[in-house]
Amino acid sequence: MNGEITISGSKNAALPIIAATILAKGKYKISNVPMILDIDHMLSILKDLGAKVAFSNNVCEIDTTNLNSYEPDSKKVRNIRASILLLGPLLARFKKVRIAHPGGCFIGARPVGTHFKALAELGAEILEDNSCYSLRTDALIGKKIILSEISVTATENLLMAAALAEGVTEIRLAATEPHVVDLCNFLVLMGSKIDGIGTHTLIVTGQKSLKPADYTICYDQIEAGTIAIAAAASRGIVTIKGFVARDQDILTNLLLEANVHIEILDETTAIIKRSTSYRALNKIRTDIYPNFPSDLQAPMGVLMTQADGTSTILETMFEGRLNYLNELNKMGADCIIKNSHEATITGPTPLFGTTIESFDLRAGATLLIASFIAEGESVIEKAEIIDRGYEKIDERLNALGANIRRVSEN
């Protein structure tokens, strides 16, 4: 891989910000929105609820004036895990919401109890049957809420609900990821009062009403990290525009420890330079931000197949995130899955093209990296899942020297 690439807008910021347009009637213009399947799914759900939607050239125009339903389409909700983000804004606007159990990637259990416990503390009554959740309230009342876990989507749901609640809501153990900060900044533009942005304690002073706002989505932290790791694995020279250095401290440290030549040119630009050899990492441990993200664990695993020595992966977030290692073994890697959370990778080992299968969004991107550093041709089955989170990834990687072809199963 050689050349220059610009990182897309953040999927994980765009999804809650799109959901937040429910909070105030009116027209919104959201820029730098990645043109990916998850965004299409979320916009389709909003359209069914009564919103007017136009999306082209990474600009999304949404008019929620005539939103008239609090019950998202159950089939569409099951297509996208982020549909859980509709709970807070729909409850705040309509005082009730009925939503099917969300779908998404199969990377292990992701309980939603934290969402419901927090919304119940704000004053929501919650019922559940075999397929749906139903929430209603006479009024949302702000209070001090300690989240059961540091959950990104629970923090985001609570932020949106609290924005229109009566009084002050104190959110303790709030998530601090860059995309959570982006949602906070958008809500402030809409008229919210939020103190403590970027910390684990958020103070939200509820407003009687909010107003529409235009906004530009931040760069995608995960895509930037994925591209940096891909460039290193390919031993290329790649300039990455949209690599926000302040959000990538732990990744930068790990890359340097592995002998990757990374240079931070300015606040949003980095360059990966060619390295002749890599060092194994003693422990790649995933955890909540600002620690190493689970979404970058698999790409780093590919890089470690090319590193000298044995690397240990400790996946603390999801029990299904190590399945991709079986696919790397098919390609010639030396990976041992000790249990659902721990694995070792011994390298360097040459990789060889073969038929492999994508189990989830991030694994799919990982197998792309493995395939273009492997000798021969690889076939990635179920690769369409990659389009859920990466905009035109094949075209953009091909521009850097990869050779990726889409082939229909038919």
Indicate which residues carry an active-site annotation.
105
Distances (CA, A) of 274 to 237, 238, 241, 366: 6, 9, 18, 20
Structural contact between residues 162 and 169, judged by C-beta atoms closer than 8 angstroms: yes
Bridging pattern class, strands 201-205 and 193-195: antiparallel
CA triple 378-379-385, angle to 5 deg: 125
- Closest of 364, 351, 269, 274 to residue 321, by C-alpha: 364
Amino acid, res. 12:
N
d(CA 274, CA 261): 7
Residue that the structure tokens 């107003």 belong to: 211
Backbone phi, psi, residue 384, to 5°: -60, -20
Amino acid, res. 356:
I
Structural contact between residues 403 and 374, judged by C-beta atoms closer than 8 angstroms: no
Enumerate the β-bridge partners of residue 126. 135
